Amino acid sequence: MTGEKRKQRNQKQRHKGKMHLVKNCALSIFLILLVLLPACSAQKTGMTDTGEEAKELVVIGFSQLGNESDWRIANTESMVNTFTEEAGYELLMDDARQSQEKQIAAIRNFILREVDYIVLAPVVISGWEEVLSEARDAGVPVIVMDRRVETEDDSLYTAWVGSDMKAEGERAVRWLEECLKEQGRENEEISIVHIQGSLNSSAQLGRTAGLDEGLAAHDNWKLAARECGEFTQAKAYEIMRDILKVSKDVDVVYCENDNEAFGVMDALEEAGLTCGKDGDVILISFDATELGLTACMDGLINLNVECNPLHGPRVEKIISTLEAGGTPPKESYVEETVFEPEMLTEELIQKRGY
């Protein structure tokens, strides 16, 4: 990546970060006012200024797992923009900062506050039985969004909507097979660095499983390193920098999200290596965020596998079905695709909304 492009990307990221902070502050003030002034809460029925009876808002307790990536920011915004008062909702959001303990505490708090629905974006896949049983016993439907929960009893949650993370990994592997064939390297030894996402999240487990299948199917694919980048740019940068200090013999870097790919790009550049379409290293990423796709369009990421974060309207569809007395599908997979540099234009990227 050229220094100029990196500067532009960092500027864009800083701008996005500031906007996010402003939005977060506004949301926090809004939520605090609702807690401090229960008498004013629009949740209660009463009279509107025009003398009509105000409609009761549907109260949603949303446990968001954190704020680790551009994807997550887009996901939070999608929820906040969907569950508005104008649309008939009161959204209580809790940011768990990557802690399952905090998510469990937030769910218990939502139950105490007698919310109508709980939406859970779970940080890890296991360990949810107890708290989900509590929600079920209290009669609060739980909608799981994005990553999955693994429970023996699937009646512990009402519905799930998100991506097929294993299929995403498989798409990446199929593409890599083709790419190496086109380059005439299908029999060469290929050294792969794997930067994983947060461990024990279904996003990490699925994408890792996809790569593992590829490694098992190709004797010449060698796993040079596998470390957890926590879905963040900073951690991925550190990992890649340290790997390159030991050896620069890297053919492919498989990053489990765009932010990790940015960190890897920085480390490669520092080590005097290039990546992407005409680079020394093949770079694979997941998410297809605006910045990730821009890096792909610029030829710096060879493949960006889509993981769509715009779940607000999808969760809303589930809730309106339940509100109308219907039964939403237990599982809804989002249709997704992959992107290579040649497929991308500025216009297409801007249209995608994240």
Footprint on this chain of ligand AHR (rule: CB under 6 A): 68-69, 71-72, 146-147, 203, 231, 257, 286-287, 307
> Is 354 in contact with 290 (CB distance < 8 Å)?
yes
**111/255 with CB nearer ligand AHR:** 255
List, in order, residues 6 or more apart from 49 with CB less than 8 Å away: none
> Is 79 in contact with 91 (CB distance < 8 Å)?
yes
> Is 59 in contact with 90 (CB distance < 8 Å)?
yes
SS3 218: coil
**79/203 with CB nearer ligand AHR:** 203
**260/266 with CB nearer ligand AHR:** 260
Q: What is the DSSP string of 89-156?
A: EEEEEEE-TT-HHHHHHHHHHHHHTT-SEEEE--SSSS--HHHHHHHHHTT--EEEESS----S-GGG
Q: How far is the CB of 5 from ligand AHR (least distance, A)?
A: 21
**72/194 with CB nearer ligand AHR:** 72
Instruction: Provide the 10 A C-beta neighbour count for residue 334.
Output: 16
Q: How far is the CB of 288 from ligand AHR (least distance, A)?
A: 10
Q: How far is the CB of 54 from ligand AHR (least distance, A)?
A: 37
**191/289 with CB nearer ligand AHR:** 289
Q: How far is the CB of 215 from ligand AHR (least distance, A)?
A: 21
In angstroms, the CA 19 to CA 8 distance is 17
Q: How far is the CB of 88 from ligand AHR (least distance, A)?
A: 28
In angstroms, the CA 352 to CA 288 distance is 10
Q: Which stretch of DSSP H or E encloses residue 162? A: strand 159-162
**68/164 with CB nearer ligand AHR:** 68
In angstroms, the CA 58 to CA 143 distance is 14
Q: How far is the CB of 197 from ligand AHR (least distance, A)?
A: 6
Q: How far is the CB of 142 from ligand AHR (least distance, A)?
A: 17
**212/280 with CB nearer ligand AHR:** 212
SS3 227: strand
> Is 89 in contact with 55 (CB distance < 8 Å)?
no
User: Cα 94–350–210 angle (5° rounding)?
Assistant: 65
Closest-CA residue to 240 (of 210, 262, 208, 214):
262
Q: How far is the CB of 296 from ligand AHR (least distance, A)?
A: 15
**83/231 with CB nearer ligand AHR:** 231
